[in-house]
Amino acid sequence: MRRWHRFAIPLGAVALVFAVTGVAYAVNEPDPSDPAFLSPLSADGIGGQRLAQALAARGVRVERETRTSDALASAYEGDATLFLPVPRVVHPDYLAMLRLMPPTTRIVLVDPARRALDDTGLPLVPGGRRWAAQAAEPGCELEEARAAGRAAALRQRYEGNGTRCYGTGVVRLIRFQSDFVVIGASDPFRNDRIGEHGNRALATGLLATRSRVVWLDLHELESPPGVTDDPGSASGVPPSRGTDPAEGDSGGDGSSDDSRSGGGDGSAGSPEDDSSGGPSASGVDGENPLWDAFPAWFWALLIQLALAVVLLALWRARRLGAPVTEPLPVTVRAAETVHGRGRLYRRAKARGPTADLLRAAARDRLAQLLAPSPEMSLVDAAAAATGRDREQIEGLLDGPTPESDDDLRRLQADLDALVEAVRRAR
Of the ranges 180-194, 270-284, 313-327, which one carries the lowest mean pLDDT score? 270-284
Report the 10 Å Cβ neighbour count for 49. Answer: 17
- At 122 the pLDDT is 93
Q: Is 189 helix (H, G, I), strand (E, B) or coil?
A: helix
Q: 116, 233, 243: which is closest to 180 by C-alpha?
A: 116
CA angle 165, 159, 222 (to 5 degrees): 95
- At 317 the pLDDT is 65
Strand order in the sheet with 61-65: 61-65, 212-216, 80-84, 105-110, 178-183, 170-175, 163-165
- Report the residue count for the chain: 426
Model pTM greater than 0.85? no
Radius of gyration from C-alpha coordinates of the chain: 39
Span 55-103, pLDDT tens digits: 999 999 999 999 999 999 999 999 999 999 999 999 999 999 999 999 9
Report the 10 Å Cβ neighbour count for 10. Answer: 15
CA dist 48 and 199 (Å) reads: 12
Domains of the chain in start order, with CATH, are 21-226+294-303 (3.40.50), 335-425 (no CATH)
Q: Which residues pair with 27 in a beta bridge?
A: none
- Per-residue DSSP letter, 87: G
CA dist 64 and 61 (Å) reads: 10
> Quick one: three-class SS letters along 327-368?
CCCCCCCHHHHHHHHHHHHHHHCCHHHHHHHHHHHHHHHHHH
- At 77 the pLDDT is 93
Span 327-351, pLDDT tens digits: 777 777 878 888 888 888 888 888 8
